[in-house]
Amino acid sequence: MNSASDEDLAHGFAGGDESCLSEAYRRWGALVFTVAARELGDPEEAKDVAQQVFVGAWRGRENYDVQRGSLKTWLMGITHKKVADQLARRARHMRDIEAAVAAAGPDLPQRDGAADSVLDFVLLADELEKLPVQQRTVLKMAFYEELTQEQIARRTSLPLGTVKSHTRRGLIRMRNRLEVDGGAHG
């Protein structure tokens, strides 16, 4: 298949020839990844998007019309759509985090106040210890070391999106536990 013309490759792809999927990935996989990485700024997200592009293209190959454009152009169109979808998910996720932090903020002692009382500080530390390991690690780095999510991602080698997810879930879990237990003393 390596010597096939782009047109032959496109026809084979549209017809369901799996070797054409492999060849399309060989020819344009790096381009799809590069475009996604440039737009997203995160290589891990770009890998996911590149995989989504080729899986989506293969599953939706009946929508590809060889007469309307090249396979490369069609794949790049899918790439731009998947990148836009990922950016929209990221924006929604950031809004969720901001809402969770805003909702949890008044209930959680801040570092500067280190808690109004020793009891509040102990309750906070106790709730942190009840979190799953990754959520606990991320929140401890944020609370005690005052690191940003980007700094935490670099230090832990976790994707930024994963750090944000752990932060959000941990804060929500702590807020809910403190509300239920009446743990936040005012």
| Same-domain status, 175 and 114 | yes
Instruction: Identify whether 103 is part of a domain.
Output: no
In a domain, 13, yes or no: yes
How far apart are the C-alpha atoms of 69 and 7, rounded to whole Å?
10
> Which residue type sits at 25?
Y
| The last residue of a domain, from among 87, 119, 145 | 87
Phi, psi of 137 (to 5 degrees): -60, -50
Which CATH number covers residue 74? 1.10.1740.10
pTM of the entire predicted model = 0.55
CA distance 32 to 34: 6
Does one domain contain both 80 and 120? no
Residues 80 and 139 in one domain: no
> In tens digits, what is the pLDDT along the chain, a chain of 186 residues?
666 799 999 999 999 999 999 999 999 999 999 999 999 888 888 999 999 999 999 999 999 999 999 999 999 999 999 999 988 887 877 776 666 666 655 554 454 444 344 556 567 777 888 888 888 888 888 877 788 889 999 988 889 999 999 889 888 888 887 776 554 444
Q: Are residues 82 and 146 in the same domain?
A: no
Q: Does any domain span residue 92?
A: no
Residue 154 included in any domain: yes
- Cβ atoms within 10 Å, residue 17: 17
Same domain membership, residue 83 and residue 10? yes
The verdict on 127 and 68 lying in the same domain is: no
Q: Are 122 and 174 in a shared domain?
A: yes
- Other Cβ atoms less than 10 A from the Cβ of 144: the count is 11
**Do 23 and 73 lie in a common domain?**
yes
The whole-angstrom separation of Cα 50 and Cα 162 is 18
Question: Is 83 found in the same domain as 113?
Answer: no
The pLDDT assigned to 96 comes to 67
Q: How many domains does the chain have?
A: 2
Q: Would you say residue 156 lies in a domain?
A: yes
Q: Which residues contact 163 (CB under 8 A, 6 or more apart)?
A: 138, 149, 152, 153, 156
- Is residue 89 within 8 Å of residue 39, measured between CB atoms? no
Both 49 and 114 in a single domain? no
3-state SS, one letter per residue, for 75-95: HHHHHHHHHHHHHHHHHHHHH
For residue 72, the enclosing domain spans 6-87
